[in-house]
């Protein structure tokens, strides 16, 4: 659960598990009591909440996909197992940094793909409220609507 510094990685392969442990040594914070209690409660009683959340995220993803279909020069890489969507904006004419253009011209702050080795792309987090997502998409319409 985000923010509670309580996570687990189930890695059956012993070699891969050792590589993971070495790669994350000193990087991962120690767990805390609140995080452990929250994780236990989530595992025991969280399935209805998780299913409801998945429904919300599917709805948000569908809204994003529908909106992207109306934008000229933008394509969406369908997200798998995440609420982060990658938008290919290389054909939009927004220049070398579409993220900067969206921030300056539409007031929408997205992650710049260049920071992830993908210049011309932006990363949009649709794991937010429906109203915040709609507000961001409406602002993006001002620059991208075909």
Residue 146 has pLDDT above 70, yes or no: no
Place of tokens 């429904």: 55
What is the reported pLDDT for 69? 96
83-136 confidence digits (pLDDT tens): 999 999 999 999 999 999 999 999 999 999 999 999 999 999 999 999 999 999
Domains, the chain: 14-45 (no CATH), 48-144 (3.90.1150.10)
Residue 126: burial class (beta carbons within 10 Å; 0-12, 13-18, 19+): buried
5-35 confidence digits (pLDDT tens): 777 889 999 999 999 989 888 776 677 888 8
What is the reported pLDDT for 134? 98
The mean pLDDT value for 50-71 works out to 97
Torsion angle defined by CA atoms of residues 128, 131, 134 and 138, in that order, rounded to the nearest 10 degrees = -130
Secondary structure element (H or E) that encloses residue 124, with its range: strand 121-125
Task: Decide if 64 contacts 126 (C-beta within 8 A).
Answer: yes
pTM: 0.81
What is the reported pLDDT for 49? 94
Residues near 139 by Cβ (< 8 Å), separated by ≥ 6? Answer: 106, 107, 108
């Amino acid at each position: 659960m985000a923010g509670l510094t309580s996570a687990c990685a189930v890695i059956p392969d012993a070699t891969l598990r050792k590589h993971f442990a070495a790669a994350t040594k000193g990087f991962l914070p120690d767990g805390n009591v609140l995080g452990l209690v929250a994780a236990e409660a989530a595992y025991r009683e969280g399935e209805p909440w998780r299913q409801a959340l998945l429904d919300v995220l599917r709805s948000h993803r569908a809204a994003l996909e529908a909106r992207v279909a109306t934008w000229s020069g933008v394509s969406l890489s369908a997200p798998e197992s995440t609420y982060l969507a990658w938008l290919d904006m290389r054909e939009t004419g927004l220049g070398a940094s579409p993220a900067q253009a969206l921030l300056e011209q539409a007031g929408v702050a997205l992650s710049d793909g260049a920071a992830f080795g993908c210049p011309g792309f932006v990363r949009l987090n649709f794991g937010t409220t429906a109203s915040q997502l709609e507000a961001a998409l409406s602002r993006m319409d001002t620059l991208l609507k075909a």
